[in-house]
Structure 1
Amino acid sequence: MPPLDTLNEIPFVPFRSFRSFTTKVKSCEPSEVSILNQKNKKEKIKGYEVVLEDTILFPEGGGQPDDRGTINNIPVLKISRRGVDAVHFVSTEIPAGTDVNLEVDWSRRFDHMQQHTGQHLITTVAESMFGFPTTSWNLGEKVSSIELDTPKITEEQITVLEDAVNERIRERIPVTPVLYHDKDDPKLAEARCRGLPDDHEGPVRVLSIEGLDNTLCCGTHVSNLAHLQLIKLLGLEKGKKNKSNLLFVAGERVRQYLGRSYQVEKSLMTILKGPLEEQEDLADKAVKASKSAQKAVVSLLRDLALLEAYKFKTNPDKETVLVLHRKEGDNEFMNKIVNEINDKSVTCLLTVGDEKGAGLFLLSGEDSVIQELGPKVAELLEGKGSCSRGPYQGKCNKLSHKTKAEKLVREYIAGIKSEL
């Protein structure tokens, strides 16, 4: 990071000055970290931990995610704090002593600056107006949340709070980081703080929103509330231990949120065949109609199950094996057929779902048949199943293999008959 003694001047320097930075590599060591991949699953990646003499790339801290950027055009995949050092994880070795140029991913950085400063503003106004202290916050990928120590916030209070924070934005109030080199400085006691990290070293940084708030914070922020542009409070979610989570977006995220909402509105106008003002009523009618149709489908499936069982039982040439597939069925449909046949000497292989995809399966018959064939059928259909004093049934991923399962069942039953 830029020398700590210069941080007081940062708010008055144009943003562009800190999008790139030249420094030197102090150390580069092989390492392995877990990083979320595109499927949002953790993936271990081998690479190198690089510590620089100085950096403009922010390591995770204060509720704010880490920056992204490049070192000599090599992407930085993760930045963590280790004592006073920012540790940059890269996939390519950069030897110690190398002169490097840093570039920060400015869109990500500025977004985090807006959300983080927005959190400070909401926090201080919520506490001063309503006595709701902030206990934690989360800077989400699209929407952020502030945990307030209150079990209830009214809609009226949310409206008043939103009006108040946006009025402060319009007042163009300066936001200034101030350094205290002595942790025992009595002025620090005047700042809001949930405590310093155990491994903290060096000066203590206080974020000052002129005339509103002083808070200990290590994160990155805008230099004037005007840079927040706008804050929209989206509503509440129930928090833990009688607390409330206040959802919000700030700055550029408001525009993005509005764009996504408009696209949804346009889609719903087509789906519901009506204007925005009528969408709530139209959606309610659509849901009720869907529930009514679903009840009718369930009733018809029951009748169809009874019919299939009756057709099998009254067939003069009936076999001892019943194989049946129906795309629209469910577990109740399959169990209804088995219960109506009510004959363990009949082996039933029933499947429902997309013939080319996933679905459900059921195998019923003699206990010995179920125990022997159940797991094998599940394996053929690439699924999992179980039985508990009844049929062997479960979910599967390859209904396209049901002919193989049928062949297995028929050959097994034929083998038993030949032995008799």
Structure 2
Amino acid sequence: MTRKLFHENVYLKEFTANILKIREKEGKYYLVLDQTAFYPEGGGQPHDLGWIGNCEVAYVFEENGQIYHVTHLPPEKPDHVKCRIDWNRRFDHMQQHLGQHLLSAAFEKLFDAKTVGFHLGTEYVTIDVTLEEMSPMQAEKVEYLANQFVMNNLQVKQLYPDAETLEKLPLRKPPKVKENIRIIEVDQVDYSPCGGTHPSQTGEVGLIKIRKWEKIRGITRVEFLCGNRALKDYHWKNHQINAISNLLSVKDMDVQSAVERICSENHSLKKDIRNLKEQFIDYEAAMLHGDAETLGPVKIIRKIFDQKDFAELRLLATKLVSQPNVVALLGTKDENKAQIIFSRSKDLEIPMHHLFKEISPMINGKGGGNPQIAQGGGNNLENLEKALETAYSMIAEQIS
């Protein structure tokens, strides 16, 4: 069994070890040491990274009581190898993990909410708690209590109690193992079975900040950050709030109300613009209908626009063919793409999807539709006018 130095001294950054076993598989090397400070993935906490001699450690895991260190290079020597863990990564995990204990304890003490899930990700940390709903006031109370635990700088101990002592401890959750049970005690505030790494004082956790929460399958998932992660989160948010307040010429405390006012005004303006655009399209449709070419009883509108929004083009076509005996052959183009829409009144029997299928190769187009309307686009801009002329000729031939 590898000696677990990460449980003996959580602050150990460098150590010397002997390599007991090397197993190669698919270009990777699995090293077993006689002792290690590398924490293996487990219990919701990610594995440590670092170096074993010249080998960079990419992954650490425990299997059947054996800890494996995965590297991409073989070690230069097996004995008295100098090892070093990535301390920044380890300490971040320690902050987040102990912060989770404190937050979970606060949820239980205030609202009798159990923690049933924990995930320590690269950016955020989440816990799942047995609350069907959580209000902002509840979140604020939990956050405040957890941070009081931090500011009181409580002592964190690891206990290995016997069965009799274990029965007397007010455990927040039952242990998952039956032997060598390790309990993390936070100065009589919290007792939790855990195999992870934690600072020895709660003050090292730093700020605990709940970012957001959501309801998932009858429980609440809470996303939070601790320590340096919370500080980084505050940095970018403070920067953005200050930038927005300067942009809007309001105090930082008034940013939300200012943005809400602008959003309301923007919504109203968008509605006015939509109404004006529709009025303009009504006018445009009337003009095009009045100037349309006539083939027998059928009016054919053939028109190419520059950089016209395709949604507006479709609306224009819809309004044109709302009149009887109308065919609309419309196109638009910008620097990169040509788009066409063929549409007809319901009282006509010209199959527009067949027409589009015949014409679309002229613009290298793709698309489709139904007998009444078909649309699509392609990259051959030069042939757009010719495509509409050909479509007109084909319809003229059908009508005649």
Alpha-carbon distance in structure 2 between the residues aligned to 1:59 and 1:259: 31
Q: How does 1:12-411 map to 2 (within 5 A)?
A: 15=11, 17-19=12-14, 22-24=17-19, 26-31=21-26, 47-53=27-33, 54-90=35-71, 92-94=72-74, 98=78, 100-179=81-160, 185-188=163-166, 190=169, 191-193=171-173, 196=176, 203-235=180-212, 237-315=213-291, 321-326=302-307, 329=309, 331=311, 333-342=312-321, 345-350=327-332, 355=334, 361=339, 363-365=341-343, 366-373=352-359, 380=364, 385-387=367-369, 390-393=372-375, 401=379, 403=381, 406=384, 409-410=387-388
Alpha-carbon distance in structure 2 between the residues aligned to 1:247 and 1:56: 29
Say if 1:330 and 1:360, in contact at 8 Å, map to a contact too. Answer: no
Superposition deviation, residue 259 in structure 1: 1.0
TM-score, normalised on structure 1? Answer: 0.74
Superposition deviation, residue 222 in structure 1: 1.2
Superposed CA offset, 1:88-140 (max 9, x none): 444x3316964554332222221111011011111123213331111112324
Question: For residues 55 and 369 of structure 1, do their structure 2 counterparts lie closer, same or farther at Cα, with a shift above 3 Å needed?
Answer: farther
1:122 partner SS: helix
Superposed CA offset, 1:287-325 (max 9, x none): 012112211221232233334434444446798753334
List gaps (5 residues or longer) in structure 2: 295-299, 344-351
1:147 partner SS: strand
Superposition deviation, residue 225 in structure 1: 0.9
Name the amino acid aligned to 1:363: I
Question: For residues 323 and 116 of structure 1, do their structure 2 counterparts lie closer, same or farther at Cα, with a shift above 3 Å needed?
Answer: same
Q: Which segment drifts farther, 277-286 or 67-76? A: 67-76
2:40 partner SS: coil
1:60 partner SS: coil
Alpha-carbon distance in structure 1 between the residues aligned to 2:354 and 2:261: 51
Alpha-carbon distance in structure 2 between the residues aligned to 1:408 and 1:68: 64
Superposed CA offset, 1:113-171 (max 9, x none): 10110111111232133311111123244332322112234444434333332232233
Question: For residues 8 and 78 of structure 1, do their structure 2 counterparts lie closer, same or farther at Cα, with a shift above 3 Å needed?
Answer: closer
Superposition deviation, residue 80 in structure 1: 4.1
| Structure whose alpha-carbon radius of gyration is higher | 2
Superposition deviation, residue 186 in structure 1: 4.7
Alpha-carbon distance in structure 1 between the residues aligned to 2:210 and 2:138: 11
Superposition deviation, residue 251 in structure 1: 1.4
Superposed CA offset, 1:318-337 (max 9, x none): 9875333435x352x12221
Alpha-carbon distance in structure 1 between the residues aligned to 2:275 and 2:69: 61
Say if 2:182 and 2:194, in contact at 8 Å, map to a contact too. Answer: yes
Alpha-carbon distance in structure 2 between the residues aligned to 1:263 and 1:338: 48
Superposition deviation, residue 231 in structure 1: 2.0
Q: Which segment drifts farther, 266-275 or 141-150? A: 141-150
Say if 1:269 and 1:276, in contact at 8 Å, map to a contact too. Answer: yes
Superposition deviation, residue 227 in structure 1: 0.9
Say if 2:39 and 2:47, in contact at 8 Å, map to a contact too. Answer: yes
1:145 partner SS: strand
Alpha-carbon distance in structure 2 between the residues aligned to 1:93 and 1:363: 61
Superposed CA offset, 1:60-90 (max 9, x none): 3212233333344554444444333444444
Alpha-carbon distance in structure 1 between the residues aligned to 2:256 and 2:122: 28
Question: For residues 406 and 27 of structure 1, do their structure 2 counterparts lie closer, same or farther at Cα, with a shift above 3 Å needed?
Answer: farther
1:239 partner SS: strand
Superposition deviation, residue 370 in structure 1: 2.5
Instruction: Give the structure 1 partner of residue 348 of structure 2.
Output: none
Question: For residues 294 and 71 of structure 1, do their structure 2 counterparts lie closer, same or farther at Cα, with a shift above 3 Å needed?
Answer: farther
Q: Which segment drifts farther, 293-302 or 219-228? A: 293-302
Alpha-carbon distance in structure 2 between the residues aligned to 1:290 and 1:213: 50
1:10 aligns with 2:6: no
2:41 partner SS: coil
Name the amino acid aligned to 1:147: D
TM-score, normalised on structure 2? Answer: 0.78
Instruction: Give the structure 1 partner of residue 347 of structure 2.
Output: none
Question: For residues 131 and 316 of structure 1, do their structure 2 counterparts lie closer, same or farther at Cα, with a shift above 3 Å needed?
Answer: closer
Instruction: Give the structure 1 partner of residue 297 of structure 2.
Output: none
